[in-house]
Amino acid sequence: MPEKTMSSYRAAIVGGGPAGLMAADILSQAGVQVDVYDTMPSVGRKFLLAGIGGMNITHSEPLERFNTRYGDREPDMTRLLADFGPNDLCDWIHGLGIETFVGSSGRIFPTDMKAAPLLRAWLSRLREQGVHLHVRHRWMGWMPDGALCFTTPAGEQTRLADVTILALGGGSWARLGSDGAWVPWLHQRGVKVKPLQPANCGFDVNWTPHFGGRFAGEPLKTVALRVAGSGTTFKAGEFVITATGVEGSLIYAFSAQLRDTILMNGWVDIEVDLMPGWTQARLEKELSHPRGSRSLSSHMQSRIGLKGVKAGLLRECLAQEDFNNPARLAYAIKALPLRLHAIRPLDEAISSAGGVAFEAMDEQLMLRALPGVFCAGEMLDWEAPTGGYLLTGCFASGRVAGLGALSWLQAGVVA
């Protein structure tokens, strides 16, 4: 009987985002026949949308610090990132002919800031390597014989493969294909899946109609934030006022802690430093100057430069008598209390927490309950703030799953 070659094996990858395409890249380079199935009309939809405001691909901070961004899953993600961390990802992008640069915040972007050229170059290489892309193929689980079942414009179709990689995303942005519909199918096969929850999400605040209507969409720049009572220091950044509450990068940096506290207590308090560059003593001194006939708004603007949405937020949160006391006002400017009472819906979130538990997989991300089936990307149980950490984690996990699938085939497990 002739010995099998890698080209005699077929891999099915369900999900055409960064994790799935990275797995396809690994397997196709080794000569495996690769089919990628995606429910959308084209692959990489969420990847492209995430890059509309500037494609933040990864971050330049030291790897030891980078790894801490994954919270409770730091040990698992550190393992995945060990052979394909931020520097490796940048080298890989450069290999596609796309140059990168480091922004002032340490975030790394393609030189033209766009996702589309990177995706086009990558898809061109994948096609040259023989990868077949099947769009408008919605995965519906397994048939009794183990074949993958898809609904397509041509009706229901089934596909048998020697190895399968699931890279279906989490539960956010359902309109782009990540709707979490895969959860019950894995549950039915004995796979432990933790409930999907919003991550990098907004939160609701009980704004007055006046404030919410006037300042919705306004960014709070050059501020700092901490969770009240946590004993932690303030973290600098910016966030945005919405009609219902708050969102944005600084909120996302705390979203896991804020979400978990709300789920436990029904609310969480944060403190906002509206002027991180000023001490409380300096603010009190400036605010104590006589203002004469000027309004308090004009006085604050002229003495400390506080105006617009920051002044509006002060008025929203403080009692009138606090404005007449420079000490109280200065204290509030440095630690303005704000209560968040609800988490915005999962579908609005940038990403999701929860998913396939790491203990349900081996070190190569193969499901223990389903030999020959691997998982990668956001459908795994990890989360991270924005800043390139999400994409780097997806690329790295896709690579590990791809290499794991390749090892599975090379070991001759499939007859």
pLDDT at 3: 64
Name the band, by pLDDT with cuts 50, 70 and 90, for residue 215.
Answer: very high
Q: 232 pLDDT exceeds 90?
A: no
- Write the CA distances from 226 to 194, 258, 332, 337, integer angstroms: 28, 10, 14, 10
Name the β-bridge partners of 204.
Answer: 245, 342
Other beta carbons within 10 angstroms of residue 251's beta carbon come to: 25
Torsion of CA 241, 246, 247, 248, to 10 degrees: 50
SS3 322: helix
Which run of H or of E encompasses 185? helix 183-188
The predicted-structure confidence for 151-204, as pLDDT tens digits, reads as follows 999 999 999 999 999 999 999 988 888 899 999 999 999 999 999 999 999 999
pLDDT at 104: 86
pLDDT > 70: percent of the chain: 98
Contact 117, 110 (CB under 8 A): yes
The predicted-structure confidence for 282-331, as pLDDT tens digits, reads as follows 999 999 998 888 888 898 999 999 999 999 999 999 998 999 899 999 99
Other beta carbons within 10 angstroms of residue 130's beta carbon come to: 14
323: which residues sit within 8 A by CB, 6+ positions away? Answer: 296, 314, 315, 329
User: Average model confidence (pLDDT) for the chain?
Assistant: 94
The pTM of this model reads: 0.91
CA distance 235 to 285: 25
Which run of H or of E encompasses 404? helix 389-410
Q: 414 pLDDT exceeds 50?
A: no
Name the β-bridge partners of 134.
Answer: 37
In this prediction, residues 235-256 reach a mean pLDDT of 95
Name the band, by pLDDT with cuts 50, 70 and 90, for residue 77.
Answer: very high
